[in-house]
């Protein structure tokens, strides 16, 4: 029988508080340790105010900002995959490479999505 995490027993406000602390710790770790996340964060810090300034329509603003935030989310998942793979083993393995390549492809598609959304909104 598999033992569950002792943290899964928390409920209510304690669980929400713990989840918030873990999330903030994850953002801090990504900012400290992941250059790609820092670069995307900087991109968002520049482009989100630009999105607010360029567009008056709420839907257009939501599309522009949402596409940027999606790149951060996907990069966080990719960094988590890479950390997990590296935790298991640092040796070259075809499945480790596949996992990392697929995570990288997800980031690329999120960036492509952001570029397409921005082009369509700005050019319309």
pLDDT tens by residue, 101-119: 999 999 999 999 999 999 9
Please say whether the beta carbons of 78 and 35 come within 8 A: no
**This prediction's pTM:** 0.87
* Numbers of helices and strands, H then E, in the chain: 4, 0
Q: Where are the beta strands (DSSP E) in 20-85?
A: none
Share of the chain above pLDDT 90, in %: 85
Active-site positions read 75
Q: What is the DSSP letter of 69?
A: H
Q: Which residue segments constitute the domains of the chain, with CATH numbers given?
A: 35-123 (1.10.287.3610)
Element (H or E) spanning 14, and its range? Answer: helix 12-33
pLDDT > 90? residue 3: no
CA atoms within 13 A on the CB side of 16: 2
Question: Taking all residues of the chain, what is their mean pLDDT, rounded to a whole number?
Answer: 93
The pLDDT assigned to 1 comes to 62
- Break the chain down into helix, strand, coil percent, rounded to 5: 85, 0, 15
For 74-101, the pLDDT digits (tens) are 999 999 999 999 999 989 999 999 999 9
Instruction: Count Cβ atoms below 10 Å from residue 120 Cβ, excluding itself.
Output: 11
- In percent, the amount of the chain with pLDDT more than 70 equals 94
User: Closest Cα to residue 44, out of 63, 27, 60, 67?
Assistant: 67
What's the pLDDT band for 10 if we cut at 50, 70, 90?
confident
């Amino acid at each position: 029988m598999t033992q569950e995490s002792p943290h899964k027993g928390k409920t209510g406000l304690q669980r929400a508080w713990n989840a918030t602390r873990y999330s903030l710790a994850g953002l801090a770790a990504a900012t400290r340790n992941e250059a790609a996340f820092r670069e995307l964060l900087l991109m968002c810090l520049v482009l989100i105010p630009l999105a607010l300034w360029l567009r008056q329509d709420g839907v257009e603003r939501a599309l522009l900002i949402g596409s940027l935030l999606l790149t951060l989310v996907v990069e966080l998942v990719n960094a988590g995959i890479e950390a997990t793979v590296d935790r298991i083993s640092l040796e070259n393995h075809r499945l480790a490479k596949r996992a990392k390549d697929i995570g990288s492809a997800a980031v690329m598609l999120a960036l492509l999505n952001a570029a397409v959304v921005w082009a369509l909104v700005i050019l319309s």
